[in-house]
Amino acid sequence: MEILGASLRICVDDIETAVPFYERLSGGRAQRFERGGVQVAAVGSFLLMSGPESELEVLRKVVATIAVKDVDAAHRLLDDLGARILAGPVATPAGRNLLAMHPDGSLFEYVDQLRG
């Protein structure tokens, strides 16, 4: 599995107010999409999320989003290492993802940009 980087997950009350701050901070433009009623903006190393508290409650439990070259390869390695795959791999607007609980109880999202 090749890890390409990680994003810091931040739940915000008002994504429209938060995005300009993080765009200026990171020097980049936000990529936006919606998933399950949650507005998401990826800005540099930051992943901003805003939406219903019932959805954000689950998202806050994920430690970080890890970008990988191929989610299927990550799935195989995580499984071999004893991680518990909670969801996925599934297609998202930005590629594919899976949620995995590591043996220490930490929850991570793994994402790639492959379509499928």
| pLDDT, tens digit, 9 for 90 and up, residues 56-110 | 998 899 999 999 999 999 999 999 999 999 998 998 877 899 999 999 999 999 9
Nearest to residue 99, comparing CAs of 48, 70, 64?
Answer: 64
* 24's tokens: 């200026």
User: What pLDDT is stored for residue 104 in this prediction?
Assistant: 94
User: Is residue 1's pLDDT more than 90?
Assistant: no
* Beta-bridge partners for 50: 39
**DSSP code per residue over 42-86:** EETTEEEEES-HHHHHHHTTEEEEEEES-HHHHHHHHHHTTPEEE
Q: Which two tokens stand for residue 96?
A: 């594919």
**pTM of full prediction above 0.85:** no
Residue 115 pLDDT level (bands cut at 50, 70, 90): low
At residue 116, the pLDDT reads 54
Q: What is the pLDDT of residues 4-58, one digit of tens each?
A: 999 999 999 999 999 999 999 999 999 998 888 899 999 999 999 999 999 899 8
